[in-house]
């Protein structure tokens, strides 16, 4: 692709310092790119570090988190900025719909007022203009602007999620992180929210990083996919390549667990065993204890993430570049 990536995540490593227990390494050496207008899926079992990736990039983690590596936004390393400088990028360039966000609306403030406050908080425009902008944002996410005066309890779950998306779009970012935006919504509403994200993306030229458990959603929505396991990237590349020709044994098992992509989420339980604990990470490949094609070296040597075909990366000793 000739275009420059908007975001280049390089060797992102995040540790949580736990008092009296040392450091828990939640992410290690995570690298991927986000190009303008692209959708990237971030998948992997619960606890593999998906949310931590997004929160590390936005520097929204608590102070006991130590982040290293580089997060280049249009070539500028966000991790090297002061908190004050970072505020020019967070929300304005990269915004996030948090995991479970739709339950985070203030119950005693009208939804429109909350969106309006988000706009004025960033000092983008005076109050009167912010009110007009609130109406536009509501309409953009498919909520009639008259309903802005209503309170969150008067909204359905899907509408509350739409309102959170409107809030994330308040500063017209160029990248939107959506952390499991459809979890806890029924299947019909899930489809509507995903359609909304697709429409907004086309209208605004947004790049989206979509965290999901649902590989069917990835197949439908994403251009690229990052498959994570135990805080590391197992496989990364174009969606069609990875779905048709998965190279990492974990990706293969993950795809086997979703035999019919037209059906909603199945269980990952068909991969025997459990992901590693952060306090007891195996020295070699983190997937080795559960791997069906494990080699002797896998227990001791961590496989590097290799480019096995143009733009297709896999971290497995069985994969040859
Ligand atoms: N503030 C924190 N302090 C200590 N450990 C944390 C903190 N936040 C996350 N972790 C740990 O980091 C690991 C990755 O968590 P994360 O929430 O990123 O996973 P996830 O892939 O988003 O999971 P899920 O699919 O359940 O949302 C987990 O082991 C988690 O316990
Ligand atoms: Mg999460």
To 5 degrees, how large is the angle CA 282–CA 30–CA 313?
95
Q: Whose CA is nearest to atom 1 of ligand 1?
A: 62
pLDDT at 122 (0 to 100) = 82
**What stretches of 213-311 adopt beta strand conformation (E)?**
224-229, 232-238, 306-309
pLDDT at 275 (0 to 100) = 83
pLDDT at 56 (0 to 100) = 98
- Residue 104 or 41, more confident: 41
Give the DSSP letter of residue 303.
P
Q: What is the mean pLDDT of the chain?
A: 91
| Over residues 75-103, mean pLDDT | 94
Reported pTM: 0.93
Q: Whose CA is nearest to atom 7 of ligand 1?
A: 16
Q: Which has the minimum average pLDDT: 141-145, 260-264, 285-289, 294-298?
A: 260-264
- Residue 54 or 126, more confident: 54
pLDDT at 2 (0 to 100) = 56
Q: CA dihedral in degrees (67, 57, 229, 256; nearest 10)?
A: 180
Above 70 in pLDDT, residue 265?
Answer: no
What the block records as the tokens of 104 is 């985070």
| Over residues 95-120, mean pLDDT | 92
| Over residues 290-318, mean pLDDT | 94
pLDDT at 240 (0 to 100) = 95
Query: Could you report the per-residue pLDDT of 176-226, keeping only the tens digit for each?
Result: 999 999 888 888 899 999 999 999 999 999 999 999 988 889 999 999 999
Helical ranges in 169-233 per DSSP H: 187-204, 215-221
CA 108 from centroid of its chain's CA atoms: 29
The CA distance from 59 to 79, in Å, is 8
Above 80 in pLDDT, residue 52?
Answer: yes
| Over residues 35-52, mean pLDDT | 95
- Nearest atom of ligand 1 to the alpha carbon of 99: 27
| Over residues 60-69, mean pLDDT | 95
Q: How far is the CA of 150 from the centre of ligand 2 (A)?
A: 29
| Over residues 276-286, mean pLDDT | 84
Above 70 in pLDDT, residue 11?
Answer: yes
pLDDT at 104 (0 to 100) = 87
Q: Is the CB of residue 111 less than 8 Å from the CB of residue 118?
A: no
Q: How far is the CA of 133 from the centre of ligand 2 (A)?
A: 30
Q: Count of CB atoms within 10 A of residue 159's CB? A: 20
Q: Which has the minimum average pLDDT: 13-22, 105-114, 246-255?
A: 13-22
Question: In which band, very low, low, confident or very high, does the pLDDT at 125 lie, cut at 50, 70 and 90?
Answer: confident
Q: Whose CA is nearest to atom 11 of ligand 1?
A: 26
Ligand 1 shell residues, CB under 6 Å: 16, 24, 26, 46-52, 62, 99, 278
Q: Whose CA is nearest to atom 30 of ligand 1?
A: 47
* Structural domains of the chain sorted by starting position, each given as residue range(s) with its CATH number in brackets: 7-93+173-314 (3.40.50.300)
pLDDT at 259 (0 to 100) = 60
Question: In which band, very low, low, confident or very high, does the pLDDT at 242 lie, cut at 50, 70 and 90?
Answer: very high
């Amino acid at each position: 692709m000739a275009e420059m990536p908007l975001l280049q995540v390089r060797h992102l490593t995040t540790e949580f310092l736990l008092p009296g227990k040392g450091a828990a390494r939640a992410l290690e050496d995570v690298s991927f790119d986000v190009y303008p207008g692209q959708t990237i899926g971030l998948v992997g079992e619960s606890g593999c570090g998906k949310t931590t990736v997004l929160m590390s990039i936005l520097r929204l983690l608590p102070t006991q988190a130590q982040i290293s590596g580089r997060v280049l936004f249009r070539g500028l390393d966000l991790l090297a900025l002061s908190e004050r400088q970072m505020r020019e990028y967070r929300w304005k360039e990269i915004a996030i719909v948090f995991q479970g966000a739709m339950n985070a609306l203030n119950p005693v403030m009208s939804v429109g007022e909350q969106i309006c406050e988000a706009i004025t908080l960033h000092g983008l425009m005076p109050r009167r203009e912010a009110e007009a902008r609130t109406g536009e944002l509501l309409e953009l996410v498919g909520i009639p602007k008259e309903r802005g005066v209503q309170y969150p309890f008067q909204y359905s779950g899907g509408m509350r999620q739409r309102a959170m998306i409107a809030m994330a779009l308040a500063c017209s970012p160029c990248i939107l992180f959506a952390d499991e935006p459809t979890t806890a919504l029924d299947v019909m509403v899930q489809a509507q929210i995903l359609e909304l994200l697709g429409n907004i993306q086309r209208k605004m030229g947004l790049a989206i990083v979509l965290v999901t458990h649902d590989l069917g959603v990835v197949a439908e929505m994403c251009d690229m996919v990052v498959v994570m396991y135990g805080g590391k990237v197992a496989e990364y590349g174009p969606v069609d390549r990875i779905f048709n020709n998965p190279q990492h044994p974990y990706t293969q098992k993950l795809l086997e667990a979703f035999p019919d992509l037209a059906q909603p989420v199945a269980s990952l339980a068909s991969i025997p065993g459990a992901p590693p604990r952060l306090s007891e990470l195996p020295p070699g490949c983190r997937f080795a204890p559960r791997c069906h094609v494990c080699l002797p070296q896998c227990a001791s040597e961590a496989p590097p993430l290799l480019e096995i075909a143009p733009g297709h990366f896999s971290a497995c000793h069985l994969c040859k570049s």
